[in-house]
């Protein structure tokens, strides 16, 4: 489904530039990033879509390993999944 067809998506307002009264007036996108964002949401990639859904459903960030490493450092919090099970003694 494209963003125009999904009524709960804020991306439609950000991509089209049409004001949405439910959103704040200030975009989180810098003007120079708008074209890259348009291309990102228009690009169809099932593998990336699955990875975004997995990250969203697990509450973990979506991004490269270096991006997640940077987030962990800045937030001083573990964001990557740990090994399952009890720790070995």
Tokens for 59? 């509450």
Residue 81 domain flag: no
Rounded distance between C-alpha atoms, residue 28 and residue 25, angstroms: 10
Rounded distance between C-alpha atoms, residue 28 and residue 51, angstroms: 23
Global pTM value: 0.55
Residue 45 domain flag: yes
Q: Is the pLDDT of residue 3 over 90?
A: no
Residue 89 domain flag: no
3-class secondary structure, 72 = helix
Q: Which domain holds residue 46?
A: 10-18+27-75
- Percent of the chain exceeding pLDDT 70 equals 90
Number of domains, the chain: 1
**Residue 20: its pLDDT value, please?**
80
């Amino acid at each position: 489904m494209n963003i125009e067809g999904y009524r709960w998506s804020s991306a439609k307002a950000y991509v089209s530039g049409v004001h949405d009264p439910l959103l704040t007036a200030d975009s989180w996108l810098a003007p120079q990033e708008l074209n890259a964002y348009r291309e990102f949401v228009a690009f169809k990639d099932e593998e990336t879509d699955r990875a975004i859904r997995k990250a969203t459903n697990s509450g973990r960030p979506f991004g490269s390993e270096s991006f997640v490493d940077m987030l962990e450092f800045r937030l001083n919090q573990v964001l990557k999944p740990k090994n399952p099970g009890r720790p070995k003694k």
